[in-house]
Amino acid sequence: MNFRRIASLLAWLLFGVIAYSTLSPIGMRPHIGTWVHVERFGAFGLLGFLFMIGYPGRLPFVVAIVLGTAVGFELLQMLSMDRHARLGDLAVKLAGGACGIAAGWLMARRLPRINQNSNYPG
């Protein structure tokens, strides 16, 4: 199993965790104890990074899935009685996703060079 396949698997698993965290009742929402905006930014940043590493040649797909997920999940919160959609929350998620995609894009550009030199004995 190569690095890109692992990254794509982790990206889809994180997608499921974010879906659960975003759409579950507020009392069941997991949190790590920091500011909620840090959690949102970090989760979508990691999601964007993992998707970009997992699908390096598919930037439009990655942008659509990561940023579309942020918008879609925020809108779906309007269907829940105890959750609410806020523009500020969406902005943090979009910023995190965009930063993660950018970091993943830069890393994916470097991976072919790193992989070429992996057989170097020195």
Do the domain assignments include residue 116?
A: no
Give the per-residue pLDDT at 5. Answer: 86
The number of distinct structural domains making up the chain is 1
Do the domain assignments include residue 120?
A: no
Print the domain residue range for 77.
3-24+33-111
pTM listed for this prediction = 0.82
Do the domain assignments include residue 43?
A: yes
Do the domain assignments include residue 121?
A: no
Residue 120: pLDDT band by 50, 70, 90 thresholds? Answer: very low
Task: Give per-residue pLDDT as tens, 6-65.
Answer: 888 999 999 998 888 887 776 666 667 668 778 889 899 999 999 998 888 889 999 999
Separation between Cα atoms, residue 28 and residue 18, nearest integer Å: 13
Do the domain assignments include residue 118?
A: no
Task: Give per-residue pLDDT as tens, 64-73.
Answer: 999 999 999 8
Do the domain assignments include residue 84?
A: yes
Do the domain assignments include residue 122?
A: no
Do the domain assignments include residue 52?
A: yes
Distance of CA 66 to the CA centre of its chain: 6
